[in-house]
Amino acid sequence: MVFPGAGEHVPIKRKQADEQIRHMATHDGLTNLPPRNLAKEHLTMSLGVASRNKTMVTLMFIDLDGFKGATTLLVTMPATMY
């Protein structure tokens, strides 16, 4: 027996799963931030586009004091505590 529309959502779910895997591979699991080399690659691309289009680029750098200590605490804390 074939149900109409039974396989319609399979490509959509596959695409969503692929996007989630790609995001997990390119972002930190704790902070959800991209690694430094990906940020540098995006900055280089943006500077190239801005140069060609004669536009400007804004870069915001945020230094979080004590961030390493906070991430270390979260990583070592049992999952039931947060």
Q: Report DSSP state, residue 27.
A: S
Q: Report DSSP state, residue 65.
A: T
Q: With cut-offs at 50, 70 and 90, classify the pLDDT of residue 60.
A: confident
Contacts of 51 (CB under 8 A, 6+ apart): none
- pTM of the model as a whole: 0.45
| Burial (0-12, 13-18, 19+ Cβ within 10 Å), 34 | middle
Taking the CB of residue 70, how many other CB atoms lie within 10 A of it? 13
Q: With cut-offs at 50, 70 and 90, classify the pLDDT of residue 12.
A: confident
- Higher-pLDDT residue of 79 and 62 is 62
